[in-house]
Amino acid sequence: MRKPDSLQGSLDLLVLKILSRRPRLHGYALMMAIQDSSGDVLRAEEGSLYPALHRMEEAGWIRAQWGENEAGRRLRRYEITAAGKKQLEAEESRWLALTAAINRVLRTA
């Protein structure tokens, strides 16, 4: 069954968070990490993941380096930058504020 791709603009947040914990991931590993750590609930499609990665790279939040895996195949691995960490903080607090607000609505209404 296809999981909804509607990460609702929080894809950046997820990518930055995962990269802050586990540096030097390539695109596929990142995709799997999102899937795994969300308990198979969230899933990033390739069609949105790569534009997002390249956009954040141009914005200077993450940087990429070519490396090789054990089998010797070239991979493009991403890691978070200082600017990215700042961005992550901002996104995270924005997210927490948002969810807290939504929770309040759900509780009181």
Partner 1 sequence: MPLWSRIWNVFRAERLNRELDEEFHSHIAEAIEQGRDPVEARRAFGSPLRQREVSRDVKLIAWLDSLRADIIFGWRQLMKRKVTSAAAIASLALGIGACAATFRLIDALLLRPLPIANPERLYALFRQGADADGKTRINDSYEYPLFQQMREAVKGHAELIAVSGAARSDLTFGTDQETEKAYNQYVSGRMFRAFGLQPALGRLLHEDDDVTPGEHPYAVLSYDYWTSRFARDPRVIGRTFRMAGHLFEIIGVAPERFTGTEPGTVTGIFLPTMMNEGVGHVDWSWVRVFAMMKPGVTVEPLRDRLRVTYRTFNDERAKAFPNMPRRFIDRFFHQTLLLEPAAAGVSGMQRDYAHSLTALSLLAALVLLIACSNVANLLAAQAAARSREMALRVSIGAGRRRLVQLVLVESLILAFLAAAIGGAFAWWSAPFIVSKINPPDNPVRLFLPADWRMWGFGLALSLTVAHLFGVAPALRASAVRPASALKGGEDPHGRRRIMHALVAVPSGFCVLVLFVAGLLVATFDRLSSQPTGFSSERLVTLDTVAQHPVSMALWDQVKDHLRSLPGVEAVAMAGWPLLDGNGWNGVISVNGEPPTDALAYFLSVSPGWLGAMKIPLLDGRDFQAGEASAATAIVNEAFARRYFSGENPVGKFFETGQQRTRFEVIGLVKDVRYRNMREPITATAYLQFAGQDFNQATFIVRTSSVNPLALAPALRSGVSRARPEFRVSNIRTQLEINQAQTVRERLLAMLALFFALVALLLAGVGLYGVLDYSVLQRRREIGIRMAIGARPAGVAQLVTVEVFRMVLVGAIGGLALGMASTRYIEPLFYQVRPTDLGVLAIPSMTILLVAMLAAVPAVIRAARIDPVEMLRSE
- Binding residue for partner 1, selected from 55, 86, 94, 104, defined by CB under 8 A: 55
Q: Which span sits near partner 1 by CB under 8 A: 5-13, 34-42, 66-74, 91-99?
A: 66-74
21, 36 Cβ separation under 8 angstroms: no
Q: Is 35 in the site for partner 1 (CB under 8 A)?
A: no
The residue among 32, 19, 21 whose CA lies nearest residue 64 is: 19
Of 14 and 31, nearer to partner 1 (C-beta) is: 31
Q: How many residues bind partner 1 (CB under 8 A)?
A: 22
Burial class (CB in 10 A: 0-12, 13-18, 19+), 83: middle
Strand locations in the chain (E):
25-26, 62-68, 74-80
Q: Is 65 in the site for partner 1 (CB under 8 A)?
A: no
Footprint of partner 1 (CB under 8 A): 26-29, 32, 45-47, 50-51, 54-55, 57-60, 69, 71, 73-76
